[in-house]
Each structure stands twice: as structure tokens, then as C-alpha cells.
Structure 1
Amino acid sequence: MTENQTIRLFHLPFSFMLPQRVAAERGYFTDEGLDVELVERDRADVDWKYIPAEERLTDEYDVDLYPICKWESLKRTWEMRDGRIVAKGTFADQPYAVFTNRDDVEDGGDLANVPVGVNKRTGQEYTAIRALERHMDPDEVVIEHHGMPTDRLRALRDGVVDAVSLLEPHSTLAERLGFTRVFEFENHMGMVGAEELDRDSLVRFRRAYARAVRDINENPDEFREAYLSMLEADEDVAPDLFEDVDVADLRAEIEVPEYETPELADREELDTHLEWMKTRDLIDGEADIGRIVARGP
């Protein structure tokens, strides 16, 4: 990839991806000689997930680099041949939380054989399964697809499901709606690059991303409005969830988390996650980490 070529970067509007937008808007990618074009989808047009489950981003969307859950990155790169994993990390000090509408659930063990609502094929299902397995036997874990965060909150409110997993800012919204936080677990992400993405471009991408991380961590209040933009978008598409909530007070309570720069992919570590997926029949037993993770320098 030459220095003058555009890198089409898929952008998720979730709060844990804020540094990506900051780096683009502040010209940090440009400073590194990268002409980055953010590829985004309008929240109003998304009724299931931002990353299409049946379309290859590196093909149909001509994307060079995209973020996605660590375990879904393993599945996508193997089953769909949608690029190779180039980086991974938690990206932000922002855990998932499981919430319930039941009074008899006090800890994770009480959710044995209780369906937990997630958004399937976004990766969070695997994260949730691993987290739930710490509290119960694997065969007692039950997850159900209940869509986007606002859809999961509606399902919880209406009693369609008794528990759901959520990230901020929806976790604080869930508490304002009266639901109980049961336990938390880390959100693990991956970065997937197209076959044509060269190592030098990735190094420069990470340097620009790191500048944005430092900016946010040093002055989080400066980025509060940008951080809360997804909450604002969801207020437009799901106004019923906000009817009995003091939105100004809700926004004031939510804090901007501390961010991290994605690390280069660790093949050995990712292989342990791949083996776990194989034991749970979550991926083809023939999946090969050598085909999934990008080659080193």
C-alpha cells in the first residue's frame, strides 16, 4: 500500500471506538501519511448490527481495516475469508455488564439456564458465554438474540427476556430504568486488515491512534459530547426508553473511560481463544490460526 493511497477504515459509533474518530478529525492519520476515510452506517438504518453478518467488509465494502470483537474476528477471518487479524485489545476501560429484571438473581450463578439477551454475530455472544461459564457449567449457559442495545433494553423492560448484556452508556441507562447489575466482564476487541494492508501502514495507524488515546485520557471532559453521541442517536430511534429518565442527569453521571491503543495480534494467545471456540463448536474444527492472523514483520 503506497503512502498516497486511501485507507478505508470501518468505524463503529460505539463509545469504545472514540479514539478512531478523534484521530481522523484531528488529522493524526494525515500526519502519519495516511489518507483515512471513515466508512460508517447511519444508526437509523441499523436494525441488527453495524457489521453485516453475511457480507465481507474487505470485499463488498472495500474496507482496508475494521474493528470487531476478538472472537468474531476469529470466526469472520476463517469462515468468510474477510481479511486477517492484525491487532487486539480491550480498547477502553469499559466492561460489559449483565442486567436482570428479576429480584431472585443475586449473582451470576443464579442465571444458570436463564436466557441472557445479546446481539448475535457481533462477537459479544462469545464474550458473554465465556463470562457466564465462570459462574456456571457450560451446558447451563443460555444466550438469545435480542438485537441492538435499545432492543435488548426493551426486551428486558417488557419481560421478553430476564437478563441482557450491555456496555456504557446503556449500562447507566439500564440502572436508571431500575434494572439490577449482576456482574461485569471485559470487552475484548480485534482489528482485522485486508490482505493488501501492509505492516508499515498498520504501524502508522497505531501511532495516530495512540495520539488520540493520549488526548482523551489527559482531558476526558473535552470529549464528553463526542462520547455520548451514541446515546443521543439512540434517544432518537428509541424515545420510549427515555420517557421516564432525566436525560440531563443521566448524561452528567456517565464518565468518559480511559482508553488503550490496540496491540499487535499475538498468534499464540489468539490460538488459545480459537481452541476454546472449537471445544464449544462455535467455529469449524479445522480452523487454522496461521490462516487467521496476519504474518509478522
Structure 2
Amino acid sequence: MTSSGTVRLFHLPFSFMLPQRVASERGYFEREGLDVELVEREREEVDWKYIPADETLTGDYDVDVYPVCKWESLKRTWEMGDGRIVAKGTFADQPYAVFTRREDIEGPEDLADVPVGINERTGQEYTAMRALEEHVPEDRIDLVHEGMPTDRLRALRGGEVDAVTLLEPQSTLAEHLGFRRIMEFENHMGVVGGDGLSDEELAAFLRGYARAVEDINADPAAFREEYLSMLRADESVAPDLFEGVDVDALREDIEVPTYETPELADRNELDTHLRWMQARGLVAEDADIRAIVAGGER
């Protein structure tokens, strides 16, 4: 059990993480006997990524549980000792999409040597790399750091890059800005727990999360306004992207996805992903899955 008896849960205000907020605010965690404190960063304070690249969440931020891209969870837990992976999943039926500004790029096979804007150390570069490898040679993949989704859209609009990766609601915004969707791939997430997180607390977290998933999937319209909160946050920090856009029509086009509950981490499956990263020099060769996934020993 955590030393304070309260589980400090880091929240990413992304559309695929809606059930976590719902479970916290509607008391679903509490009904499972879990005292949860939601830890968030304001959108206005974030100029690169919500999860700091140079600080540990379980140490510097005193967080007990945090979600992050599956591949970044492997890198972060090994290199920074920032907790251990306890669960994983796709979280929502909501893929990444690659958008382009160029008419001559008709499909993913045309992305060889084409700069594709991503946000480094969020995990999406690994997700994009794996997806692109199915269509173009590894040495012809050109991923370029362009920052937050709004920054990537600005870079695409301004011609700094010819393509970018996006999730909802920015994917639909990209369509309303006239960019073309040419590729989709799944968004895989990991859940990382600190040393003090007990098996009982993890089980209670997953049950509370599942209750929220059930409710949202049963009546998505009831959660639509909460779902659109990130779009409103983007409007406040990047109003230039919404100039000339029919915002009402944009919101109407955005659908609440079907959500899933994270599953307990599978060490064998995650080891496959770790070995893929090691083969590309993305994680140290001595990284050991037994020390990365909960239940192992360093």
C-alpha cells in the first residue's frame, strides 16, 4: 500500500484517457475502496509534453500511477527507474493518423525520406516508427520533433514538415484545415506503478476504471462535453489554428470512441517490444524485462 494511503494518479488530458477522469470525478475509484488524488498539469503550462522527460513521476512528482505510451514506458522505467509497468492496452478505439499537405503523397509507402512531425519522448515516435517500417525501409524513415499536437499542425501548415502524426480531436481539426489522412495505426499505452503500489490497489484501480468504461460506452453522448475538453484547451492556446474553421461543425464531426479497460502487463509480450527497441538502439542492450515489469527483480 502507498505510504500515505492515497494513490496519486497522474492524468493525461488526452481523449483516450477520458475514463480515468470519469472514474475519479464520479467516485468509481472511491467505491472500490481507493482514495485517489488526480495529479494534472494545466495545458497552458505545457510547451513540449505532459510527462517531463528529465524528471521522474514516481520520485520528483511523488506519483503512484501514471499512463504513458507502451514503448516509452519500457524506456522510462529502465533508464530512469521511474516505477514498473503494471498494465497495458490500447485504451480506446482511436488510432494515430498521419496527415500530409502534399498531393503527391498518396499512401504510407510514399513517406520514405519525407519529414514526419512527431513529439519526442512521448512514445509516439516509436509507435510511428514501427508502423512506418511496414511500408518503407527503416533507414528512410525521417521523424522530426515538432512538439505538441498544435505545434505539429502549425509545422504542417507552415511547410516545416510534409506530414505529422495526430490523435483525436486534432485529427478531425486537421481534416477541417484541409490536410489528408493517409495512414492509421494503433495507439498502445502502458500503466506504470510506483514501488508502494500494492496488488490490491492496482486491482481496485482497474475495477474503477472498468466501471467508467462501461458507463461511457453505454451512453457516449452523456460524456461528450468532457470528451471535447482538450479541443477547448487547444482553442485557448492556439487560436490561430481555428481561424476560418467552423468550430461548431468541427465539434459535431468529433465522435466519442469506444473505450477499453487496461489489462495486467504481460511480460512476454512486452519483452518482444523491448527487443525491437534494443535492436534499433532505442534502449540499452542490458535492459531486462524482469526489472521493467512489476514482479521482477533488479
TM bin (shorter chain): over 0.9
Letter in 1 for 2:105: V
Counterpart for residue 244 of structure 2: 244
SS in 2 for 1:87: strand
Structure 2: segments with no counterpart, 5+ residues: none
Which residue of structure 1 aligns with residue 207 of structure 2? 207
Confirm or deny: 8 A CA contact 2:2 2:197 kept in the other structure: no
Question: Aligned pair 1:279/2:290, yes or no?
Answer: no
Q: Does 1:69 align with 2:69?
A: yes
Q: Tell me how far 1:196 sits from its aligned partner.
A: 1.2
2:8 paired residue number = 8
Q: In the TM superposition, what is the alpha-carbon distance from 1:3 to its structure 2 partner?
A: 10
Count of aligned residue pairs for this structure pair: 296
Instruction: State the Cα distance separating 1:255 from its structure 2 match.
Output: 0.3
Q: Which residue in the other structure is 1:97 paired with? A: 97
Give the deviation of 1:195 after TM superposition: 1.1
Deviation by residue 1:46-89 (Cα, 9 ceiling, x = unmatched): 00000000000000100000000000000000000000000000
CA distance in 2, matches of 1:120, 1:54: 13
Give the aligned partner of residue 82 of structure 1. Answer: 82
* Cα shift at 1:112: 0.3
Deviation at 1:4, TM superposition (A): 7.5
**1:49 is aligned with what amino acid?**
K
Counterpart contact for 1:3–1:33, Cα < 8 Å:
no
Match of 2:187 in 1: 187
Residues 99 and 182 in structure 1, CA contact (< 8 A), matched pair in contact too:
yes
The structural deviation recorded for 1:106 is: 0.4
Q: Paired residue for 1:165? A: 165
Q: Which runs of 4+ in 1 moved over 2 A?
A: none
Report the TM-score, using the length of structure 1 for normalisation.
Answer: 0.98
Cα distance in 1 for residues equivalent to 2:210 and 2:5: 21
Q: Distance in 1 between matches of 2:135 and 2:4?
A: 51
Q: Is residue 2:124 matched to residue 1:124?
A: yes
3-state SS of paired residue (2:156):
helix
Taking the aligned partners of 1:27 and 1:211, their CA distance within structure 2 comes to 10
Q: 1:10: Cα distance to partner?
A: 0.1
CA distance in 2, matches of 1:249, 1:96: 22
The amino acid that maps onto 1:40 is E
Q: Normalising to structure 2: TM-score of the pair?
A: 0.98
Partner of 1:221 in structure 2? Answer: 221
Structure 2 partner of 1:174: 174
| Structure 2 partner of 1:266 | 266
Q: 1:72 touches 1:122 (CA, 8 Å); kept in 2?
A: yes
1:278 partner letter: Q
Identity score, percent: 72
Partner of 1:145: 145
> Does 2:254 correspond to 1:257?
no
Code of the residue aligned with 2:183 in structure 1: it is F
| Aligned CA-pair RMSD | 1.0
State the alpha-carbon separation in 1 of the partners of residues 195 and 19 from structure 2.
24
Q: Is the 8 Å Cα contact of residues 66 and 191 (structure 2) preserved in structure 1?
A: yes
The letter for the 2-side match of 1:102 is R
Q: Are the aligned partners of 1:114 and 1:141 in contact in 2 as well (CA < 8 Å)?
A: yes
The gaps in structure 1 that reach 5 residues or longer are: none
Q: Shift in Å at residue 134 of structure 1? A: 0.8
Q: Give the C-alpha shift of residue 115 in structure 1.
A: 1.2
What CA distance in whole angstroms lies between the structure 2 residues aligned with 1:37 and 1:129? Answer: 35
Alignment check: 8 A CA contact 1:120 1:145 kept: yes
Query: What amino acid is the match of 2:40?
Result: E
* 8 Å contact from structure 1 (residues 7, 37) kept in 2: yes
How much has 1:2 moved relative to structure 2? 6.3
